[in-house]
Amino acid sequence: MNAQEFFDMLNEDTKYTTINGQYPHKHKYNIDEKGDGQTTKVIGDGPEHFHKIESWDVKPAGDDKHIHSIRQQMNPE
């Protein structure tokens, strides 16, 4: 983990997915007010990949087609 990733982890405004997949990892993500967007870089182990997010639902990706969840407090429903 580099200094920026450590700082981001301390920043409560930084949004992360849950840890999941064949290789333990998580993602930062960007979504709009409708819950649509995409994950960003992999934080942890494993190959680089991205997940599409539609209506607060993280779509499968990676060689193992794994999914993640985003924190419930981010979803207004």
**Greater model confidence, 47 or 7:** 47
Please report, for the chain, the start and end positions of each structural domain, with discontinuous segments joined by +. Answer: 3-74
Structure tokens at 28: 């930062």
pTM passes above 0.75? no
**pLDDT given at position 20:** 75
Mean pLDDT of 33-44: 89
Measured CA to CA, the distance from residue 45 to residue 29 in angstroms comes to 17
Q: Tokens 């680089």, residue?
A: 48
Residue 2 pLDDT level (bands cut at 50, 70, 90): low
